Amino acid sequence: MSFVPLKPTAIKERVAMVFLEYGQLDVIDGAFVLVDNSGVRTHIPVGSVACLMLEPGTRVSHAAVKLAAAVGTLLIWVGEAGVRLYAAGQPGGARSDRLLHQARMVLDPELRLKVVRKMYDLRFGEPAPQRRSIDQLRGIEGARVKSMYAGLAQQYGLVWRGRRYNPADWEAGDRANQCLSAANACLYGITEAAILAAGYAPAIGFLHSGKPLSFVYDIADIIKFETVVPVAFRIAAKKGLNPPERKVRQGCRDIFREQKVLQRLIPLIEEVLSAGGVDLPAPAPEAAPPAIPGPTIIGDIGHRSG
């Protein structure tokens, strides 16, 4: 009997996400399986999904988490409407050169401004106004985003009182805000999977800071208004779809495919971080390469293989 190791595949070759509810996630004959309480087994092609969203009512075995980690799939535990609670299974930090590069860009005020200006450019399709501080740019972005929300709400005939939501009291938010939260959760899930797969840290953000997913919000914001926000408003405007989460997820899945979001995310991250014009740090001259070279990878650079 021979042993063939499992390897992660590239994020761009995967399906965006699968939401799982009610059942035990386990490994049967080496396959990732959701078993419900009547014994029905649903095979999940875990290695071909960027992130698995585990909803209330799921239990996960040790073997299942091990398999998800081996194939580089992010597990995200979510609560109501798919809003994220906790994630594991695809640890980041595998690439010290990427982490140091990202940290250097944030720590140097000049480089950080360049990156933030690049984000602005990519987000709005025009260069950021000259001689503005990051704080001023953040203010301009906030105002533009507010008017974009209001414009979309008007377009879909929705009453809009601003982006308001309370994670602790889900029902308090209005329908449009609930749809937005559900759609954002999908975008944040795949964005986090892409950031980890590219070898960067989700917590080290440029515009956002102080949160475990600061960089995820930075990157997701760039493409949010061309992907998930119109989907959320469109679903919110349809009456009689209660609860609307399923339709939101379907809509997100469709828009991710149409806009090739999984293919675009890692190049987008690289483009943003290259705005500073600084190369990846080279290893110290006396640094010795690993004694045992790692296996060749067919996935992304940040995936740990084996």
Partner 1 sequence: MIVVITESVPPRLRGRLAIWLLEVRAGVYLGKVSKRVREMLWLQITKLAEDGNVVMAWSTNNESGFEFQTHGQNRRKPVDFDGLRLVAFTPMEDRKTS
Among 22, 42, 93, 243, contact with partner 1 (rule: CB under 8 A): 42
> Which listed residue (8, 9, 11, 18) binds partner 1 by CB under 8 A?
18
What are 184's two structure tokens? 């954002």
Residue 228's nearest CA partner among 189, 247, 255 is 255
Question: Quick check: 249 binds partner 1 (CB under 8 A)?
Answer: yes
In the complex with partner 1, the residue whose CB is nearer, 146 or 257, is 257
Q: Taking CB under 8 A as the rule, does residue 38 contact partner 1?
A: yes
Nearest distance in Å: CB 283, partner 1: 39
Please identify which residue in 8, 9, 11, 19 interacts with partner 1, judged by CB under 8 A: 19
- Alpha-carbon span 162 to 158, nearest angstrom: 11
Q: Is 45 in the site for partner 1 (CB under 8 A)?
A: yes
Does position 30 bind partner 1 by CB under 8 A? no
Cβ–Cβ < 8 Å for 196, 98 = no
In angstroms, give the least distance from the CB of 89 to partner 1.
18
Which residue of 256, 266, 275, 300 would you call a contact of partner 1, by CB under 8 A? 256
The beta strands (E) that lie in the chain are given as: 15-20, 23-28, 31-35, 41-43, 49-54, 58-60, 74-78, 84-88
Which residues are within 8 A (CB) of 288 and not within 5 positions of it... i.e. 6 or more apart?
A: none
What is the residue type of 217?
Y
Q: Tokens 């940290």 map to which residue?
A: 103
Q: Would you say 199 or 244 has its CB closer to partner 1?
A: 244
Stretch that binds partner 1, among 18-26, 66-74, 222-230, 285-293 (CB under 8 A): 18-26
Burial grade of 279 (CB within 10 A; 0-12, 13-18, 19 or more): exposed
For partner 1, the closer CB: 161 or 260: 260
Long-range pairs, 26-34, Cβ under 8 A, ≥24: 26/61, 26/63, 26/64, 27/61, 27/63, 27/64, 27/66, 27/67, 30/67, 32/64, 32/67, 32/68, 34/58
Examine residue 127 and tell whether it contacts partner 1 (CB under 8 A): no
Please pick, from the candidates 22, 43, 167, 306, the single residue that binds partner 1 as defined by CB under 8 A.
Answer: 43
Task: Compute the distance between CA of residue 112 and CA of residue 105 in angstroms, rounded to an integer.
Answer: 5
Question: Contacting partner 1 (CB under 8 A), which of 11, 16, 75, 99?
Answer: 16
Single out the segment in contact with partner 1 by CB under 8 A; choices: 86-94, 117-125, 243-251, 270-278: 243-251
Stretch that binds partner 1, among 10-18, 107-115, 137-145, 195-203 (CB under 8 A): 10-18
- Token readout for 282 is 């080279």
The nearer residue to partner 1, 31 or 143, going by C-beta atoms, is: 31
Provide the terminal-to-terminal Cα distance of the chain, rounded to the nearest Å: 19
CB closer to partner 1, 161 vs 246: 246
Q: Confirm or reject binding of residue 260 to partner 1 (CB under 8 A).
A: no
15 lies in the site for partner 1, by CB under 8 A: yes
Contacting partner 1 (CB under 8 A), which of 41, 66, 146, 164?
Answer: 41
Position 190 contacts partner 1 (CB under 8 A): no
Helix axes 261-273, 109-124, angle to 10 degrees: 150
State the residues that interact with partner 1 by CB under 8 A. 15-16, 18-20, 38-45, 246, 249-250, 253-254, 256-257
